[in-house]
Chains A and B, each alone.
Chain A
Amino acid sequence: MTNLDASLALSQRLDIEVSKERLSNYFTTTVEGTVSVSKPSSLEELMEILSENQRERIPFIPYAPGFEYIFQEVDSEFSMIVDVSNLDRIVDVDEDSRVASIEPGVTFESLQNAVGKKGLRVLTSVEVPKSSSVLWTYTELSPLYSWPRYGTEPVLTMNVLLPNGKLVKTGAGALPNSGKPYSPIGPPFTLLGRMWYGSQMTLGLPVRGYIKLKTAHESNIVRFFKFDDFLSLSKFLAALKRLRIGEEILAVTPLELGLILSDKADKIKTTSYPNWLLILVMRGYEEEVAYQKRDLLQEARKLGVKVLDEIEGQKNSAAKILKEIQSPTWMSRARTYQGGRFSISFIAEDKKIPDLIQLVSHLDNFSSFVLPVDAGRSHCNFAFHSRSEGRKQSIPDELKKIVPELIEHGAFFSRPFGFLSEMVYARNKPYHKLLKQFKQDLDPNNLLCRGRLGI
């Protein structure tokens, strides 16, 4: 019996729905194929599937809504997709502590709706469509954030399902009586609460997360700033950081801006846009935003930067941005622009970003957005769009050639997806060795996401 057959057979044995589907329904992949898909509707079912997979040695890969965006390329070294979309309970929303307890199937959209009623909001990242899993986006794309004010840890604690089907609760969750396990520290070995971040689901599956919610403010204001070059933008950012202005901050190239603003991607006209546009959202009580506006104006004047309420020639741009942040749709459009989008994300020092752009800007329909994640450091997303089938094949190859150069010039791929992992870990051997050791401990049969990260 093949692995595929074995996994399909689970269906009868466990009384859990397992179907046969096309791989490309789940992941962007160049590998065509058929896989079995199990769709547990409770944690217990999921645990059963995992134990069963261990027993039958069935390699499997988890899927949650939005993962097609995160994993742009997957190996086919598995025979079952474990789709957690149905684990979509919002278990609790604690208004005192501003924490939601959620399962991985819960999407940004559903959670935003649920907490909005209580005067709270979910931190979103503009990069991630509203239909994506909150929990797995937070852990997988961490620290993907455009909200510098709130730091890098949107998940407080988690319950993680290990490849062997056992459940581990992190942070305060490991303590008894923890009905509200919000503290990520507490028991020794804080690593056990952190190592799942960025693990590309190779070590275990977060099945419950206690995530931070923020107050939905009465006053939400957007401001725009135009820059000819990235370095002057970065200088301005440093000043904003010191003043702590800006709940969400995002810098975009003309094409990226077009993709954000336009409902119809293919009609974008970018000629009137500046080289770099900085978008800044201020939130708070009216009085609070009022003083921030004054601080902002003062600082902008000092640096000779003009503060714009709207993008010139774009009516309602501020409102559009707010809506987009509350409920991001842009990436779903961007992915169809010119027929397809290829992108890579990394961290770089601001001063190195212009050089990095130089290395790739010749590629098809280059666009970029940059999230200023920390002082002098940004998360960069470089994207390329192409309609031609030929290019669709060759852009990835070209990227493979360019990435080493990007790394040489200061790009740090903290989330080495797909082909990147080999390149990155070749430079981080001791780190990789330790990861392999941990993986071996957690998943001795290497069933979960086999092949990913080279561990």
Chain B
Amino acid sequence: MIEPAVLERLKDIVGSEFATDDPEVCIAYSRDLATYLKFGKYRSPDCVVLPSTTSEVQNIVAVARQFKTPLIPLGSGINVASAHIPRKGGIIMDLRRMNNILEIDEEAVTATLQPHVTIARMSTELQRKGFFIPVPGAPSTVTVGSNYTHGNTNKASLRFGFQYSHIVSVEMVLPDGSLLRTGSWADAFSGDRSWPRGPGPDLTLLPRYALGLHGIVTGITIKAHPLDDICLPIWAAFEHVEDATPAFVEMVHREICTGSSLYGGFKYNSYSADTAECAWRQSRIHPEFILALTIQGSKRRVAFEEKVVRELTDKNNGRIITDRLPFYQMFVDTHMAMSASLYSEFAFKYWASPGAGPSFLGPSSMDKIIPCFKAMTNLASEDEAFGDVDWGNWEFNRSMIAYPDQGGHFAIIEGGIAAHPTDPKAIKAYKRYVPKLIKALADIGVSPDQSRANTRPGEFGISPEYLELAEKFRHALDEVGIMNPGVISPLIYR
């Protein structure tokens, strides 16, 4: 229940048509892709408000503060930790109406925008001007404001780094209602927002994976890049991880390729399968490991890097398969036109897990990649979650991906159970399997990133010193505790 006075104030701020506590409206914010939410209790907010300007956001924050009402900013709403689902009711601030591209600075190759511009829109607009932004492996309907602050990898990570490295400066409404700008945007007079650092201690990452706790991003400047002459997706297939990984690591060491990820186990194209059987069939006819690479640059660069890729693939018992794929051109086109996502633009029906998104996500040094994949395979062969094909109870699949960050000094390992998103049985299978997977990987020295809702309580906590410091800052910013309360506790402290 929201206090009538709160709702009245919100309506005054945004207009009565853009604030409501009607349960029929609120219910749409109660759930996301997470399977466990589909079968759990309703987590509707008490009311929803749609601001359209930064000052409206400031006023809304002031109201929430005055009435000590929880406030949760919402971007695209498909983060894989259900971080925008209200834990304690309150106000959802859906930023949908803040969707203007404010400026594209062609000299600085940056774009400044309100948070709710989608990746797809931003890409289109930039490409028209001869630039591109690396797109995440997410549906390109995700918004820049939330994805750049909360997403990870993109199709050019190896060359440019993860999404957050593209944040140049941010404008935020802090939990006390004041306005903060970072980088060169911090200068109140110059209007320049092209420089990402400082002044002095660097606060540009204040919103990065803060789950809304540090305030609300109302503007963001991001870095883009000039379009390359050629963009070439090239995939190498391997039957063994012991072959695929050295090829992968050597490519990284040779500093070639713009993007790279290693897919194993559950195949990329199974994402689009409607049924478990269909996914199983598809996985049978595809290679065990795929190294999905992109090469971008001048004609000469691409020719050179392609040659190296082919040599290293060959040397490591792999084969290049892109040449032979009938739908290859589609990837080439979408790369240049839009997204290089393997699964995002081309369906991901069968890909879901009860914990929301990947069951495991954690950073690994390059030498741990093989052991991680091995651990997954070993575990899967002995875990009943994966059923028996002959008996037709093959409902789940295992999956693992490794993708390196800029320069390939480490990779993020993403793994888990793939299942049909509406299957409540998956929750059980997941609950049994994931702790085992986490344990197996921890034994290797690869820890889950605790920001994921689905990692296990207790066993693998973030260091207390880190949390203490985080809590200090959170408190300094929001002593009333209105911002997305409870989002951290089930994730970390529970």
Contact = CB atoms under 8 A, between A and B. Distances in A.
User: Touching in the complex, A and B, CB below 8 A?
Assistant: yes
Nearest to B149: A190
A187 B409 contact: no
A374 interface: yes
Contacts of A414: 183-184, 195, 197-200
A191 B205 contact: yes
A286 B446 CA distance: 37
Contact of B161 (A153, A195, A287, A376): A153
A200 B162 CA distance: 26
A203 B201 contact: yes
A175 B188 contact: no
Interface in B175-217: 178-184, 186-190, 192, 194-206, 208-211, 213-214
Contacts of A169: 463, 465-466
Contacts of A390: none
A347 to B, nearest CB: 5
B363 A186 contact: yes
A174 interface: yes
B300 A189 contact: no
B409 A182 contact: yes
Contacts of A194: 202-205, 208
Interface in A398-440: 407, 410, 412-416, 421, 424-425, 427-431, 433-435, 437-438, 440
B442 interface: yes
A455 to B, nearest CB: 8
A212 B255 CA distance: 13
A151 interface: yes
A172 B409 CA distance: 13
A412 B187 contact: yes
B433 to A, nearest CB: 20
A195 B201 contact: yes
B387 interface: no
Contacts of A374: 108-109, 194, 223
Nearest to B450: A187
Interface of A: 94, 96-99, 142-143, 150-153, 156, 162, 166-183, 185-200, 202-203, 212, 214-215, 241-244, 284-285, 287-288, 291-292, 294-295, 347, 349-351, 374-377, 407, 410, 412-416, 421, 424-425, 427-431, 433-435, 437-438, 440-442, 453
30 contacts: A97-B410, A98-B253, A152-B165, A153-B161, A156-B410, A172-B362, A176-B460, A177-B442, A186-B450, A188-B451, A189-B210, A194-B203, A194-B208, A197-B197, A198-B198, A243-B297, A244-B297, A287-B304, A347-B195, A374-B194, A376-B109, A377-B195, A412-B199, A414-B195, A414-B198, A421-B199, A421-B200, A428-B186, A440-B476, A441-B472
Interface of B: 107-109, 152, 160-162, 164-165, 174, 178-184, 186-190, 192, 194-206, 208-211, 213-214, 223, 226, 228, 249, 253-255, 297-298, 300-301, 303-304, 362-363, 365-368, 405-410, 412, 442, 445-451, 460-463, 465-466, 469-470, 472-474, 476-477, 488, 491-492
